[in-house]
Amino acid sequence: MHCVYLFDFDFTLADASDGIVGSFNDALTRLGYPAQDRETIRRTVGMTLPDAFALVTGERDPEKGHAFMRCFMEKADEIMTVNTRLLPGCVELLSFLKERGFATGIVSTKPRFRILDLLRRVRIESLIDVVVGYEDVQRHKPHPDALHRAMELLEAAREEALYVGDTVIDAEAAKNAGVAFAAVTTGTTRREDFDPYPGIAVYSGLPELRRALEARL
């Protein structure tokens, strides 16, 4: 039985679509690139910002990717937190886990300070034990460093942890870290996209995941 529950953030615990799309298009247009439609941008969630920029524009110059990230972050400072909402079942699931004495954490490519800002705003910081964000590791998902860092902070072994995410990038990160994975389809990734990862459970959202855990615990 797992005693450590780690979560991706965007489209797993929360939806920051409005803030992400607004910051993304602001950065693109400031750098002279055309704005993109909402779904194109939403499909990049889970990538690092330079990787998302490269995917959308075809531009592989690292300096331009980092310029995009700087512009994105400047706009995000203004609009991200107020345009982020918790997904249905988030508070209930985290409360359920904490009431039973389990450790919880967030492992994301989003900046840690941004996640902490949101947790404080909605007053659920007590439900999360550790947050590992973009600035905490050099190599990002699907590399396992961020998951390994979270487990190090929690003094947990790999076999004790379950990572919950909404993308194939999350599934790859869990596989590379040697931890169990469960998927939720609250993002842009389809259920069948997880078929190459046999043995993982796929849930429609956090309420279904909580019901499954309640049945086991």
CA 186 from centroid of its chain's CA atoms? 12
Specify the DSSP element, H or E, that contains 15.
strand 14-15
The pTM of this model reads 0.94
pLDDT of residue 217: 79
| 161/156 Cα distance (integer angstroms) | 7
* pLDDT score recorded for residue 70: 97
Cβ(185)–Cβ(142) below 8 Å? no
Runs of H (alpha helix) within the chain: 17-30, 38-42, 49-57, 62-79, 90-99, 112-121, 145-154, 168-177, 206-216
Closest CA to 110 of 174, 185, 189, 52: 52
Domains of the chain: 4-15+84-216 (3.40.50.1000), 17-82 (1.10.150.240)
Give the span between the Cα atoms of 83 and 22, in whole angstroms.
Answer: 10
| Local confidence pLDDT in tens for the 217 residues of the chain | 789 999 999 999 999 999 999 999 999 999 999 999 999 999 999 999 999 999 999 999 999 999 999 999 999 999 999 999 999 999 999 999 999 999 999 999 999 999 999 999 999 999 999 999 999 999 999 999 999 999 999 999 999 999 999 999 999 999 999 999 999 999 999 999 999 998 899 999 999 999 999 998 7
